[in-house]
Structure 1
Amino acid sequence: MLSRSPVTLDAMVDTLKAAAESSRLRILALLARGDLTVSDLTEILNQSQPRVSRHLKLLLEAGLIGRYQEGSWAYFRLSDNDAAREFVSGIVARVHDGDIQIMRDLERLESVKRKRQERAADYFAANAASWDHIRSLHAPDDAVETAIRKLVGNRPFQTMLDLGTGTGRLLEILAPLYRRGVGIDMSREMLTVARANLDRAGVHNVQVRQGDIYAPPVERDAFDLVTIHQVLHYLDDPQAAIREAARTMRPGGRLIIVDFAAHSLEFLREEHAHVRLGFTDRQIADWFEEAGLDLEETLEFEPRAGVEQSLVVKLWLGRDRRILIADPKQSDLATETV
């Protein structure tokens, strides 16, 4: 596997051999545009599943791609290793998009993405009424998104993790800032929605995968920004989720939580599976303290005017209190905190 440290001649030759085959290079070019299953790649490459699986195995062994399970489906993506991603990106960037084979692959890739979007549209149609009702009770989403953009700022950073990513909206709006984004959600249906939305927005520096917010399938001490947007009220143990989120953060990293202030709308528990009826500032502050985070800012968003039963949306910003010491061997971007 490639690393940022120099590698042996034999290791470099093995890596080059893994990429230096037309089908495998086509696979890398496709995965540079998003995560795909074996079935997706079989359809796009017009090759048998055993042949595609063999190519994927060689790329996995070379450390150029990664694999994760989502129910009965296995998804493949570019490696999380920065050096490997840079290596692949450099190769793929030199392949002309006008090449006839690449053009055909990209056409079939668009067909695969259209199918995803159709599944996402079906899921939205089945649940739109419920979501629209809840949205009508609180501040418009764009007000919260504007505040999040302002808090995060314009300074680029390395990594973002969105826990309970849902539609992937936060990954979409912050995509210009992070080098690599990851979204985690337990619902395969919501992951279908997120992939469709991110594909439509042209966001390729991100992956979404199935996982438990109490045990997110990501590395520790790795993310500059972690977000939990309208998720905590569905959880039996929000404190444990915050504790796990903190463990994924780099020293000096930030955690943004958006959820409802404490309220008494019992029908949300009975009809919409809300386990918690909002949260107080004291609860969040105590949970941040226990997780080793400093509460830096609290924002409040009033509900729409004229709503009889309403919800106040709150935003809490926490920061990992550990101090990040820059490594002079790494680039500035790789050692900066957000």
Structure 2
Amino acid sequence: MLSVSPLSLEECVEVFKAAGEPTRLRLVALLSHGDLTVSEMTEVLGQSQPRISRHLKLLGEAGLVERYQEGAWAYFRLSRDGLRAKLMEEALAAASPSDPHLARDAERLAAVKQARASRAESYFSANAASWNELRQMHISDERVEAEILKLIGRTPFDGLLDLGTGTGRMLELLSGRYRRAIGIDSSRDMLAIARAQLDEAGITHASVRQGDILNLPLDRESFDVVTIHQVLHFLHDPLPAISEAARMLRPGGRVVIVDFAPHDHEGLRIDHAHARLGFSHAQVGEWLEECGLTVEKIVDLPADTGDAGALTVTIWFARDPRLLIASEPSSSNTGIA
């Protein structure tokens, strides 16, 4: 959430000093379009890597950018929370997009993102046949996504966390609902696709990063919605992932789990690395309740075909009940002894 505490004079000066240099302001402008590595920023600005790193260090110390690790690569993102971030938004809004430096940076950034997209497309093409084969076994993605949107509702919320984000589809689907979002995945290849997809969609208020969904490098109670879309069947023990999702929720927050109902397609273990052949209502419901969440709705979506062996997609919708409990009238207010 945005901070309501005003910055002191010294804090304001710190922010202005950090951004008050041409290269650093150009870096802020670049990062406003999405996460970048030092090498990508070096390519855009045409400056040495040590120089770019020094500027990023100053911006980080002022709380304007954040650094996170993805394997051997370090990514940087623009801070989105607090009044410091708000000051940078105002500064960028005041800058003319036709400024020759900013215009040239934008052109070079487009080339960097195109190279990203090409690498992602190569990986996607190599695996598309396998993914399409699985898609043909269950209901269309469009119908599943329509049900997810219906469950989430139209009311905007602050933070979304997508566990096992894959291609980043949930970040894209819900981009009109959240203010900020993070997608976590262990595969750098999938993250490359997700970044390319977010770039193509022009989504700058979401980022993806490499991480273990069973041990998240994030602060607890930081998100209003957590999605786990077609991920649990890859895990031999899904409970720790659901536990991590619950840990990330703010009071009253919601979890959306999408996965397959029980089936007997043993070939999916070999061809698609599925560890579990679907889940029953009760099985996932028990895990959610064990993690302190209340199941509010379960939706089954059978396949469009009449094939008896087709896969059914199930959606579990659960909520952290703490706000609901806090809002219930106490016995002293109801006259109950």
Q: TM-score, normalised by structure 1?
A: 0.93
Provide the rounded CA distance (Å) in 1 between the counterparts of 2:313 and 2:267.
Answer: 17
The residue identity in structure 2 corresponding to 1:167 is T
CA shift for structure 1 position 100: 1.0
Provide the rounded CA distance (Å) in 2 between the counterparts of 1:109 and 1:65.
Answer: 18
Q: Say if 2:110 is the partner of 1:74.
A: no
CA shift for structure 1 position 308: 5.9
Find the counterpart in structure 1 of residue 130 from structure 2: 130
Distance 1:80 1:285, change over 3 A: same
Task: Please say which structure displays the higher CA radius of gyration.
Answer: 2
Distance 1:106 1:217, change over 3 A: same
User: What aligned pairs does 1:40-59 form with structure 2 within 5 A after superposition?
Assistant: 40-59=40-59
Provide the rounded CA distance (Å) in 2 between the counterparts of 1:112 and 1:21.
Answer: 24
Q: Is the 8 A contact 2:254 2:318 kept in 1?
A: yes
CA shift for structure 1 position 90: 1.6
- What CA deviation, in whole Å up to 9, does each residue of 1:164-192 have, x standing for no partner? 00111110011111110110000000000
Find the counterpart in structure 1 of residue 101 from structure 2: 101
- What CA deviation, in whole Å up to 9, does each residue of 1:226-276 have, x standing for no partner? 100000000121011001100000100000000000111111112211001
Find the counterpart in structure 2 of residue 145 from structure 1: 145
Q: Is the 8 A contact 1:167 1:191 kept in 2?
A: yes
Find the counterpart in structure 2 of residue 119 from structure 1: 119
Q: Say if 2:173 is the partner of 1:166.
A: no
Q: Is the 8 A contact 2:15 2:84 kept in 1?
A: no
Q: Is the 8 A contact 1:137 1:307 kept in 2?
A: no
Find the counterpart in structure 2 of residue 91 from structure 1: 91
CA shift for structure 1 position 80: 4.8
The residue identity in structure 2 corresponding to 1:137 is M
Find the counterpart in structure 2 of residue 301 from structure 1: 301
User: What aligned pairs does 1:148-227 form with structure 2 within 5 A after superposition?
Assistant: 148-227=148-227
- What CA deviation, in whole Å up to 9, does each residue of 1:93-145 have, x standing for no partner? 11111111111000011001101110111011110111011101000000000
Q: Which runs of 4+ in 1 moved over 6 A?
A: none
- What CA deviation, in whole Å up to 9, does each residue of 1:10-52 have, x standing for no partner? 2221111001111100100110110000000000011111110
Q: Is the 8 A contact 1:300 1:315 kept in 2?
A: yes
Once structures 1 and 2 are overlaid, which stretch shifts more, 195-204 or 217-226?
Answer: 217-226
Structure 1 unaligned segments of length 5 or more: list them: 327-338
CA shift for structure 1 position 85: 2.4
Q: Is the 8 A contact 2:7 2:83 kept in 1?
A: no
Find the counterpart in structure 2 of residue 231 from structure 1: 231
Q: TM-score, normalised by structure 2?
A: 0.94
Find the counterpart in structure 2 of residue 312 from structure 1: 312
User: What aligned pairs does 1:27-42 form with structure 2 within 5 A after superposition?
Assistant: 27-42=27-42
Q: Is the 8 A contact 2:166 2:190 kept in 1?
A: yes
SS of structure 2 residue aligned to 1:242: helix
Provide the rounded CA distance (Å) in 1 between the counterparts of 2:247 and 2:179.
Answer: 20
RMSD: 1.5
Provide the rounded CA distance (Å) in 1 between the counterparts of 2:176 and 2:250.
Answer: 20
Provide the rounded CA distance (Å) in 2 between the counterparts of 1:87 and 1:112.
Answer: 27
SS of structure 2 residue aligned to 1:28: helix
SS of structure 2 residue aligned to 1:179: strand
- Aligned-pair identity in percent equals 54
- What CA deviation, in whole Å up to 9, does each residue of 1:206-235 have, x standing for no partner? 110000010122221010111000000001
